Each structure stands twice: as C-alpha cells, then as structure tokens.
Amino acid sequence: MHADNSALEHFREEWLGRQCDMRRHSRHPLFEPLIAWLQMSTAGASPIRADVIDRSQGGLCLAVASPCVLQPGDTLRLTIHAGPEPELRHVRVCWREETALIVALGVAYDDS
C-alpha cells in the first residue's frame, strides 16, 4: 500500500484546509481517490505511485510515500487511469513539501 490510509486522509484534510494557494488556477478537490503513476525518464526507473489530492487547469497536487527522490525541476510522464482511456501527460515538479510519511508535490502540465 502507498502510505497508511489514515496518514493520507489526515494529510488530505490538512492540505485542503489550508488556503495558501501556490497555483495560478483554482483548485478542484477530489472526493474520490484517484491514483496517478509517475515515470521518470531514467532508463529502468520504476513507476512511482501517487495519490491525487487536487487538480487545477494547470496541474496537480500529489501525495507520494516518503522517502521520495523527486525534486522541483524534475520532468516526468504522468498516467491516470480514471476512464475508458488513460490520461497521459508530461509534468514538471514545481514544488515539494515533506512530512514524516508523505511528500506533497505540485506538478504542472508540461505538454509542450
């Protein structure tokens, strides 16, 4: 399992309760769990599971189990299976915030 469910729920509630917005676009919280997979461009790197905390027109807030090697500036391929066809996007890590069990990542869509 990714991170302890109670730790993830606590993080999600705390995160959504904060009104410090690091994005240009308004956030859209998710009320149903949504899982994303992040793939680094490094050959042989395993996909990293992430829980989507919220999304906006410009990107996503993701929760990843700690320890996490991803840092601001990293570019990744993101896959979300939430419909008949997977959503595939290129994203760039913009910011990172770490707690004892979970790392929050702000990623921006980078489909250029």
At residue 19, the pLDDT reads 43
| Domain hosting residue 93, numbered range | 5-109
Residue scoring higher pLDDT (83 or 104): 104
Of 4-8, 21-25, 33-37, 73-77, where does the model show the most confidence? 73-77
Mean pLDDT (the chain, rounded)? 82
Mean pLDDT, rounded, for 74-91: 92
Residues 14-65 pLDDT 10s: 655 554 555 555 665 667 778 999 999 887 889 999 999 888 889 999 999 9
What Å distances lie between residue 100 and 11, 18, 63, 74, 103, CA to CA?
11, 18, 12, 22, 8
Domains of the chain: total: 1
Mean pLDDT, rounded, for 73-78: 95
CATH number at residue 43: 2.40.10.220
